[in-house]
Each structure stands twice: as structure tokens, then as C-alpha cells.
């Protein structure tokens, strides 16, 4: 089981808006001892979104999807989720109640009685049409819910594209459904800066360390340098704390054999 993130919207791919979901979701997960396993972006294209969701529904992953769950012509996520699952859209009774509650709140703020049968309000109820069998995700900002779908051992959680709504909804999902996973896998990371060496030269050593320590990943982040630091490679190991300690010692020994210039970080 991995945790995935899907971000939907032409405005992200065109550059009209900068995606803020990816770094925030990484932050929310990290604070709970969890880590993002994968992420994908998609524009407002029904066929592409449906194909993407078919793939992710076939997994046991925990997946968060941001964007496209409104009721305007460019919002397709609800319809695509239903198509990917092969089920119809249905007006969820709890979602209907929450949307009508929101309609009533707005009407009272404006000093009038709500007309739930008006064309505008009837259209707003479409935001509560979810794939058959879905559950709602509460929205503390304006009460209009998102929805979730379970599949096998995994689940998908669909929230709006607006950060002010999406982020607290994702936090609610994590704290309500996955608290038992928090801080379950202790992780450690150690790294050094390596100067004057090529990645290709160090690769056999990195592969040998991963082979010897299966609970560790070696990472290599080359940099061309800047005004304060020369060209270098940030080389390190991360994973199981006990194996990280031993793997880091092994890595330093290997760098000594290369007579590499190393700076601890």
C-alpha cells in the first residue's frame, strides 16, 4: 500500500495557477510519519482522468485527488470516478442535506428565505452526486462535501481544488481513518556532500550498499553549485534507522577508497 496524490486541472498544466497541493500534502504526511509514494497531474480531459482513475482504483493505495468535483462544465472528476468504477452517479443523501444547509446559510446571510427548488439551487445539488456507494468527506469551510470510495484494501479521497477546503479535508481523512499508521515506520537519513567525483564512478558503490542493506535507499542529488558552494553531489542513505547507521559507515569507507573530498551535513 502506497499513498498517492492526483492533481486535476487545466489551470495547473497551463501555468495559470501554481500547484500548492503537492508540497502541502508532503508536509501533512511527514508530520504524521508518512510519505507520499507517487503523484500525477492531469488536465480537464474526461478520457484521461477516467484512464488514470481506472489504474489507481486497481491498486490497494490510499489516494488523494484534488480538483474537478464542482458542477461547472470543466469539472469532470465525479463523472470520471463513476465511469472508472462502472457505477452510476447518485445524489448522496448526506451531501444533499449539507448542500441545502449551505444554501440556507447563504440565504439567511442575505436576508431572504432559501428557495431550494430554484434552478440555481437545483444545479448546486449536482455537487452532491457521487459514484454509487461513496461516502462523504466533511468540508469545514463551506459544508459542501467531498467523497471517498473504498476498493480492496485501498481508498480514494476526492476533495476540491481550493487549498482552503482541500487541506483540512485531507487532514480529517488522515486523522480519522489512518491514525493507526502514524509514526509506524521510524526512518533515518544521513548524507554528505561529495566534491570532485562523478555519479557514474560512485554508482557501483551505491548499488552494493543497497544490495547489502535491503531496508535502505541510497540517494544521489548532483548540483552545479552556486555562489557559496562548488559543484558537488549530495550523497546519502535513508530508511530503517539501524541499517542506515551501518550503511552510512559503509558509504564513508567507500568514499575514502575513492579519496573523495567529503563535507558532512
DSSP string, 52-68: HHHHHHTS--EEEEES-
pLDDT tens, residue by residue, 16-50: 999 999 999 999 999 999 999 999 999 999 999 99
Q: What is the pTM of this model?
A: 0.84
pLDDT tens, residue by residue, 68-102: 999 999 999 999 999 999 999 999 999 999 999 99
Is it the case that residue 1 has pLDDT exceeding 90? no
Separation between Cα atoms, residue 144 and residue 127, nearest integer Å:
8
201 and 247 housed in the same domain: yes
- Among the candidates 142, 161, 181, a domain finishes at 181
238 and 143 housed in the same domain: no
pLDDT tens, residue by residue, 199-255: 999 999 999 999 999 999 999 999 998 888 899 999 999 999 999 999 999 999 999
171 and 229 housed in the same domain: no
- Work out the burial of residue 117: count CB atoms within 10 Å of its CB; fewer than 13 is exposed, 13-18 middle, 19 or more buried: exposed
152 and 89 housed in the same domain: yes
DSSP letter string over 133-195?
T-EEE--TTTS--EEEEEETTEEEEEE-S-HHHHHHHHHHHHHHH-GGGTT-S--EEEEEEEE
159 and 231 housed in the same domain: no
Give the domain range for residue 199. Answer: 188-264
104 and 220 housed in the same domain: no
- Provide the pLDDT confidence category of residue 10 given band limits of 50, 70 and 90: very high
170 and 223 housed in the same domain: no
Distance from chain centroid for Cα 182: 16
Average pLDDT, the chain: 95
Q: What is the pLDDT of residue 2?
A: 95
CATH at 105 = 3.40.980.10
176 and 237 housed in the same domain: no
32 and 17 housed in the same domain: yes
CB 192 within 8 A of CB 264: yes
Q: What is the mean pLDDT of residues 170-182?
A: 96
127 and 25 housed in the same domain: yes
Q: What is the pLDDT of residue 81?
A: 98
CATH at 260 = 3.30.70.600
143 and 203 housed in the same domain: no
pLDDT tens, residue by residue, 111-136: 999 888 899 999 999 999 999 999 99
What 3-state class would DSSP assign to 90?
A: strand
Number of domains in the chain: 2
- Among the candidates 181, 206, 222, a domain finishes at 181
Q: Which has the closest alpha carbon to 190: 249, 125, 134, 231?
A: 249
Q: Which has the closest alpha carbon to 146: 155, 162, 156, 157?
A: 157
- Among the candidates 181, 210, 238, a domain finishes at 181
169 and 194 housed in the same domain: no
Amino acid at each position: 500500500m502506497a499513498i498517492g496524490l492526483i492533481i486535476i486541472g487545466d489551470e495547473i498544466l497551463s501555468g495559470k495557477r501554481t500547484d500548492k497541493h503537492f508540497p502541502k500534502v508532503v508536509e501533512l504526511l511527514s508530520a504524521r510519519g508518512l510519505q507520499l509514494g507517487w503523484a500525477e497531474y492531469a488536465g480537464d480531459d474526461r478520457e484521461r482522468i477516467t484512464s488514470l482513475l481506472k489504474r489507481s482504483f486497481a491498486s490497494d493505495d490510499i489516494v488523494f485527488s484534488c480538483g474537478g468535483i464542482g458542477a461547472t462544465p470543466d469539472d469532470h472528476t465525479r463523472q470520471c470516478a463513476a465511469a472508472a468504477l462502472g457505477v452510476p452517479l447518485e445524489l448522496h443523501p448526506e451531501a444533499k442535506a449539507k448542500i441545502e444547509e449551505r444554501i440556507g446559510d447563504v440565504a439567511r446571510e442575505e436576508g431572504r428565505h432559501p428557495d431550494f427548488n430554484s434552478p440555481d439551487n437545483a444545479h448546486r445539488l449536482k455537487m452532491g452526486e457521487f459514484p454509487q456507494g461513496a461516502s462523504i468527506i466533511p468540508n469545514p469551510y463551506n459544508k459542501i462535501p467531498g467523497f471517498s470510495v473504498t476498493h480492496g484494501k485501498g481508498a480514494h479521497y476526492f476533495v476540491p481544488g481550493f487549498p482552503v477546503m482541500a487541506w483540512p479535508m485531507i487532514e480529517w481523512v488522515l486523522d480519522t481513518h489512518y491514525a493507526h499508521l502514524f509514526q509506524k515506520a521510524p526512518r533515518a537519513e544521513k548524507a554528505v556532500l561529495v566534491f570532485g567525483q562523478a555519479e557514474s564512478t560512485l554508482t557501483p558503490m551505491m548499488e552494493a550498499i543497497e544490495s547489502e542493506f535491503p531496508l535502505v535507499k541510497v540517494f544521489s542529488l548532483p548540483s552545479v553549485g552556486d555562489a557559496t558552494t562548488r559543484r558537488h553531489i549530495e550523497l546519502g542513505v535513508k530508511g530503517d534507522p539501524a541499517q542506515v547507521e551501518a550503511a552510512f559507515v559503509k558509504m564513508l569507507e567507500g568514499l575514502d577508497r575513492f579519496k573523495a573530498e567529503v563535507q558532512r551535513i
